[in-house]
Every structure is written in C-alpha cells, then in structure tokens.
Structure 1
Amino acid sequence: MASARQEILNKLKKAVHNEPEKPDFDAPVYFPLEEPLEESFKANLAKVNGSVHLCHSKAELYSELKTFLDRFVKELIVCNESNLKSNLQKHLVPFTSTSQLPNDLQVGITSCEYLIAHTGSVMISSAQGSERRLFVFPEIHVVIADSEQVVAYLEEAYSSIKKKYPDQLPSHISLLTGPSRTADIEKTLVLGAHGPRQFHVFINQNFNK
C-alpha cells in the first residue's frame, strides 16, 4: 500500500504530464445584467441594505423625496449643491444649506457622478459641490441621480469620469456601496459604524421629464 507521501508524488507526476486546460479568453468576465440597468442597480444595492426609488419624472422624484423627508426636521436636512438646491426649492422640499453641519445632522442630500449597476455602487467626487463630510456625517444619505448616469460596470464609470474632466480629475473620487458597515466586533454586522446608517438613491428614469 502506497504511503501518503508516495500518493502525493504520484499526483504531482500526473499533473506534470497532463496538459492543463487553457482558459477561454473570449468568455465574458462579468455576468450579464438585467435591462434596464436601473433594475440591476436597484437589485444589487438592495443586497447591501441600500434602497433605490425609481421615478418616472423629476416631479415624481421630488414628490416622493418630500414624502420621505416629512418625518425629519428641516434644519437637520442639509444640501449644499447649487443645482440640487434649486430643484429642492422649486418642488418645496424642506432642507437647509450650511457649511456648519449640525452635530445631530439627520439627512444629507447629494448628487453623484455615476451609478454602477454591476455592484450597486455610487461614484462620488469632490467636484460635485458637497464637502466630504456630507457623505459621512449624516444618519441618512440621500443621492439624487438620472438614469443617464447609470453604467453597467466599473470600467465604464472610470472611463466616463476621465472624459467628463479631461483637463484635471477631481482631487477625491470614491465609491459608496450601501450604508457604512462593520463586523469587527464578535462578527456581528453593524450598520452605520463609520458613516450613514441608511442609504437611499432616487433615480429619475425619464431625463426629459
């Protein structure tokens, strides 16, 4: 009866003489995504405890956002981006604009650069007009986007942002994938450990409305 050592040596000999299977370089690297991409983004963000609100028009988006924010105090809802502030005011959505973020900040409203359907990630940058603190400090982070900002894979997001800022990239580009989380303590998942406890993305599916 062959020893354990001999069995290992025999297996190694067979491995050397057998032709290894060649990889299929033409096979797709990623699994296919559902169409439209907003649905894939929604499904993948939900897997990491994020929430996506798909709206058929800008009016519907801000109406749904207003309903969502009704339970919060206006002074604890902050948005500092010019384009967003104009739309929030137009649709009578309560918010405050200030560089001095309140210690008990509840909701931060920002835009984004791109939404990555494959991972459910949100690409943000320092060029948006929101300070980095607004992505980290609030209990709830709300992102407002259009369907044109949804891309399939991360490579597309990076190539698109390079085209968007051809002369100089923003000093800070980051990816957000759901609420902040950690399982460092006794392997128990805790949301909101290093950032927002809730993560909501509102998408206008009809850019022209």
Structure 2
Amino acid sequence: MNIFKKIFSSFSSSHQNKNDEESKYLPEKEIPVDEQFTHNFKKNGGKFLYCENEEELEENFISILQENDWFEMEALTFEKELYPFLIENKLNYKNPTNPVFLLTSCEGLIAQDGSVLLSSKQIFHHKPNDLPKNIIVVAKTSQITRTKSDGLSAIKNRYKNEIPTNITTMQCFKENKNDDFLQYGIQPKNVYLLLLENY
C-alpha cells in the first residue's frame, strides 16, 4: 500500500511542478480593454467621468463648469455637433480670443497607453501645444481600442478615401517631475474625459 502512495504522491508532485513551470511561460491574462484604458488614462493624470446616457453627459459637463467656475467664459470648439453644450451654458465660442478650455470629440481612446487620439476633424491644423491648457473630451465607449494601430485602422475604416490629416495622440495630463526626455517640449494638459456608454 505504501508503494502505491509513494508512486502517486511523487507523480502528483512532479505533475504539480510541471504545471507551475508551464504557467510561468503562459501569457498573462489580458485585462479588458476598457479597464486598461481607464487605469492608464488616470495614471497619466486624466480626469475620467463615466456617463450612462446623454442626460448624465450633460450633467457631468455642467459639473466640470461648476468645479472650475467656467460659466460665461470663452471656450473653443471646432465641431458644430458640440455647439449645444456651449450655447446652453452661455459660453462664448464665436471667435474666442482667450478660450479657457477646448471642447472636443476624438477619433479614439488607446488602452495601451491611456492616450486620446485626435485628427484634423477635431483640432484642424493645430498642434496639441497650441490648444488651451484645459480640454474636455466627449467620447463613446465603442471608441476604446487596445493599441494605436487599432485606432489608426478604425480611422481608415471610418473615413475610407478621405483620411484626415494631423493625426496625433495626447497622453501628458500632468506635470512630469522626472526628467523624461520623451516628454520634453510637451505641455501637459488638464484633460477631462466624458465617456458615454454606447455598447
């Protein structure tokens, strides 16, 4: 009886060791893309507001205005679809000389690094450093992609033969205290993301 115990116990322990060794080489479980984006976006210093519906989107937009005392100020947007947000809250968006914030949509949200993908459809020819320090981005959950190449593929599919120019990403949302040469010359932006559920 002891012989069988020894055989089975040595078999099960060697089997266990083999499983442990194999699991070291298996790829890690992939984090859901929305969780990965949220984590990386917040890590970059972005402020994230989830909205279940249009009503909640409007309420959260007003909350941002209240928090920063931006009512009756100048704002900038390049998208007609976003005018109602500004009109309803008495924000001057026609030829602003000193806009307090930019209100914009985006092309995509990149989970890999928590960045916001923009193009000439949102910011025309402007570089991120030329935009106001404060930015409110209105996006949809369906716009979250795993990688930048996924985001670029989505742009290609969306616009077919009229691919926009000035495609860029923003991911610097706080002052970098370390001397990171990759962030050199990039002005950090105070970014709020209003993310509307649309799955």
| TM > 0.5 | yes
SS class of match (1:75): coil
Q: Note the aligned Cα RMSD (angstroms).
A: 3.0
Q: TM-score, normalised by structure 1?
A: 0.68
The alpha-carbon distance between structure 1 residues 102 and 196, as it changes in their structure 2 partners (threshold 3 A), is: farther
Query: Which of 13, 29, 32 is the matching residue for 2:30?
Result: 32
Residue matched to 1:157: 151
SS class of match (1:200): strand
**Displacement of 1:45 after TM fit?**
0.8
Q: Aligned AA for 1:170?
A: P
Residue matched to 1:97: 93
Q: Decide whether the 8 Å contact of 1:143 with 1:202 is kept in 2.
A: yes
Runs (5+) with no aligned partner, structure 1: 1-26
The alpha-carbon distance between structure 1 residues 75 and 87, as it changes in their structure 2 partners (threshold 3 A), is: closer
Alpha-carbon distance in structure 2 between the residues aligned to 1:134 and 1:84:
19
Residue matched to 1:82: 80
How much identity, in percent, do the aligned residues show? Answer: 23
Deviates more, 1:195-204 or 1:71-80: 71-80
Alpha-carbon distance in structure 2 between the residues aligned to 1:134 and 1:75:
21
Q: Aligned AA for 1:202?
A: L
The alpha-carbon distance between structure 1 residues 196 and 131, as it changes in their structure 2 partners (threshold 3 A), is: farther
Q: Decide whether the 8 Å contact of 1:178 with 1:199 is kept in 2.
A: no
Q: Aligned AA for 2:198?
A: N
Runs (5+) with no aligned partner, structure 2: 1-25
Q: Aligned AA for 2:136?
A: V
Aligned residues: 170
**Displacement of 1:147 after TM fit?**
1.0
**Displacement of 1:131 after TM fit?**
5.4
Query: Which of 136, 142, 149 is the matching residue for 1:148?
Result: 142
The alpha-carbon distance between structure 1 residues 32 and 63, as it changes in their structure 2 partners (threshold 3 A), is: same
Alpha-carbon distance in structure 2 between the residues aligned to 1:162 and 1:95:
34
**Displacement of 1:166 after TM fit?**
1.7
1:172 paired to 2:166? yes
